[in-house]
Each structure stands twice: as C-alpha cells, then as structure tokens.
C-alpha cells in the first residue's frame, strides 16, 4: 500500500515545482523589463533684463573691479563688444554693477562711460562695498633711530687769509726822446741859433 502512494506523491511534487517555476519566471522578466526613464529638462532662451555692452574705445578691453572706484582691486576684464547682465549702479551713477561669474559674489563693477545699457533704463542704486584700507606705511621707532644718531663735534672753520696786494707797475708817458730831461724842441732851437751865429761870424771874417 505504501508503494502505491509514493509514486502519486512524487508526481504531484514534480507538477507543483513545474508550476512554480513557470509562474515565477514571467514575473521576474516583467520586473526587469520595466526600467524607469528620467527626462532632463533643458533651459532655452535668453535671460531677461538690461545688459551692459562694452563700447569701442582707446583700449581693446576694460577692467572690472570689486567696487565702484579705482581704489578697489581689479578682478577681471571685458572685451569690446562683450555683453553682460547689468544689475545696478553706484549712488552717483559713475559705475555699473554687472554679473561676472568666477569672482566672489559673482558680480563686479565697470566704469559707466565704457559701457552702454540696453534697453535704455534707470538701473537701481546698489550700495557699494566698504572702501579698501590702504596699506600702512612703515613707521620708524624713535628709540631705535636714536641709537644710530651720530652727533658731530663742533669744529672751528678755517680763517680766511686775504692775499697780499697786487703791485701794478705804472709807466710814464713818453713824449719823444729828451736829453737831460730837456725838451727836444729847445735843443733843436739852440742848435739852430748856434748855426746862425757861426754863419754871421764866418760872413764877417770874409769881408
């Protein structure tokens, strides 16, 4: 009797196993086939709002600074014709705040005369960042400087000795040759008188 029940029981077990494999396999395949899909949204279009366009000038590029003034650090440059979103202006309207990724805060300042705002509109006033402090100049410690001060002993300056007077020779005016300090005219007249006298004597003796 026992042998008669063994065969039907084994057959029933095989049938149950076959049904189990047949039922589980389609379910697993169905689960694996249904993979979730994700769609990534893409942003299209241009950002709305005013823009600053770099106008042509003497330089091919202009500087961007961290604040509205030449005392602020230079953080980048813009080329002629480049367009950036404009966000505001300084209280006096001399500088324009623009978007500039890559710097702290993502914004920088450009001089207003170098750009053109389109469309034409009045930008909102933006409070500028604190003015940078200038580098302090080194001060000299007076105590340390006093150690290197050298006091020179007073010395008497050499006295000035004037040179001896310069003797300039003087020359007498020479009015012609003279004999015994007598004028030459007197000598000539004397000789002429003697000649006349001797001529008269010779004439008298001849008579």
Q: Which fold has domain 51-118?
A: SH3 type barrels. (2.30.30)
Question: Residue 78: which H helix or E strand, with range?
Answer: strand 74-79
Structure tokens at 38: 């994700």
Asked whether the predicted pLDDT for residue 77 surpasses 90, the reply is yes
Asked whether the predicted pLDDT for residue 193 surpasses 60, the reply is yes
Q: In this predicted model, which residue has the larger pLDDT, 166 or 87? A: 87
Each residue's pLDDT tens digit, 45-70: 455 689 999 999 888 999 999 999 99
What's phi and psi for 117, nearest 5 deg?
A: -90, 125
Query: Which residue, chain included where needed, has tokens 């014709």?
Result: 81
Q: Which of 142, 132, 54, 156 is nearest to 96 (CA)?
A: 54
pLDDT at 109: 96
* CA triple 100-103-107, angle to 5 deg: 40
Structure tokens at 94: 């001399």
Within 10 A of 49 (CB to CB), how many other CB atoms are there? Answer: 12
Each residue's pLDDT tens digit, 135-157: 566 677 777 777 777 777 777 77
Question: Residue 205: which H helix or E strand, with range?
Answer: helix 184-206
């Amino acid at each position: 009797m026992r042998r008669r029940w063994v065969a039907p029981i084994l057959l029933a077990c095989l049938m149950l196993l076959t049904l189990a494999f047949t039922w589980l396999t389609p379910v697993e395949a169905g689960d694996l086939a249904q993979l979730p899909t994700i769609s990534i949204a893409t942003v299209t279009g241009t950002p709305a709002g005013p823009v600053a366009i770099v106008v042509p000038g003497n330089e091919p590029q202009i500087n961007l600074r961290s604040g509205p003034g030449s005392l602020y650090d230079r953080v980048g440059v813009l080329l002629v014709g480049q367009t950036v979103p404009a966000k505001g202006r300084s209280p006096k309207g001399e500088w324009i705040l623009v978007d500039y990724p890559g710097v702290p805060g993502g914004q920088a300042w450009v001089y207003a005369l170098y750009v053109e705002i389109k469309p034409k509109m009045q930008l909102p006033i933006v409070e500028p960042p604190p003015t940078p402090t200038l580098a302090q100049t080194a001060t000299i410690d007076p105590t340390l400087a006093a150690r290197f001060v050298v006091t020179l002993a007073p010395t008497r300056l050499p006295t000035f000795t004037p040179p001896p007077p310069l003797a300039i020779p003087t020359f007498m005016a020479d009015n012609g040759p003279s004999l015994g300090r007598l004028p030459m005219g007197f000598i000539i007249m004397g000789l002429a008188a003697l000649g006349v006298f001797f001529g008269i004597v010779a004439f008298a003796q001849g008579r």
